[in-house]
Structure 1
């Protein structure tokens, strides 16, 4: 073992310390260099991460705005679709109502056709009845006018309550004292073709009974003969 008094010992120790120190300095420099490289690498990484995050944020913002735009468009389209559905429902309802109206119109047309056919039959029957009445009137005119001095007059009524043509049967040769004295009964024909006795001059109390009998028998000459008899009886009373 060397003595510490050996002058080389101090030199050797100093050399060893310097060598250790130099090694530590070199190690420190390597650490510093590595740390610097790591710091630069970290800064680059952080910068890249920040840039990526910023880009991602911008992309997300654009995507969010696009989604909002799509949502607004979707809401508008849904609103438009609801309106169209409502319009379609209204159109369908109108079509159904028109179909119902069409069915009603068809039924009414059929009813009108039936009523028209009934009216046609009624008119034909009334025409036949009127022709028969005309024949009766002609016979009655021949009998009463030529043999008994009766006159038939047509009277056209123009009042607001009564419109149409009436007949007046004018009797003469009733009163033996006044052969030219006039006795009148006025008649008309209703819409159903039946006779209607309007009045008599002078008034006959039994005229409603004679009218009822005329409606039952529809025999005008007999009615006029009965009226003449009543006028004669009244004139002689």
Structure 2
């Protein structure tokens, strides 16, 4: 067994310690290198994670901004759609009112057409009646002028109530003591196309009844004959 005081032993021990120290230094160096490498890797990972997070935050901000823009655009479109629906409703209401007015106008036009047709029928009937009355007048004129000395004159009324053309029937050969004496009845046709007696000279008490009978029968010759009879009766008194 070697003694520790032996120089060879001491050198061997020192050499062994140096080898162990060297090994430890190498191990420490490897650990330091591994630590440095891990630290660099960790820093790179942290930086990459930080960059990823920053990018993610920016992307999220852009996404939120886009969502907010879409939300505002949707609100504007909703408001615009609501306004358009309101405008369409107002237009439809206006169209309905115009349709109602159109129906009213069409109804009024149809009513006016019916009234015009009725007026035309009335005018035609009045024209026919006037033609018939004119024919009766011509017959009466011929009969009375030829046989009884009747004279017929057209006059224009001056008073407001009697304005328009009137006819005077002048009877002679009534009074035997004076055959030239004139007995006059004045008459015309009112706005309704009805015979209307204005006056008689001399006055006849039964003139109103004779006028009513004339309006009922439209028989002018008979009316004139009755008037002449009344004048003759009046002249004999």
Measured in 2, the distance between the counterparts of 1:81 and 1:157 equals: 76
Measured in 2, the distance between the counterparts of 1:112 and 1:51 equals: 89
Give 1:134 shift: 0.2
TM-score with structure 1 setting the length = 0.70
- Pairing of 1:47-196 with structure 2 (within 5 A): 47-99=47-99, 109-146=109-146, 147-155=148-156, 159=160, 165-173=164-172, 180=181, 183-191=184-192, 193-196=193-196
Q: Is this contact kept in 1: 2:171–2:228, CA < 8 A?
A: no
Q: Is this contact kept in 2: 1:188–1:196, CA < 8 A?
A: yes
Give 1:111 shift: 4.8
Task: Give unpaired runs (5+ residues) of structure 2.
Answer: none
User: RMSD value over aligned CA atoms?
Assistant: 4.0
What SS does structure 2 have at the residue aligned with 1:190? coil
Task: Please say which of residues 87-96 and 136-145 is displaced more in the overlay.
Answer: 87-96
Give 1:137 shift: 1.0
Give 1:188 shift: 1.8
What SS does structure 2 have at the residue aligned with 1:7? coil
Q: Is this contact kept in 2: 1:166–1:189, CA < 8 A?
A: no
Q: Deviations over 1:92-114 (max 9, x none)?
A: 45555555555555555555555
Q: Is this contact kept in 1: 2:141–2:150, CA < 8 A?
A: no
Give 1:221 shift: 1.9
Tell me which residue corresponds to 1:209.
209
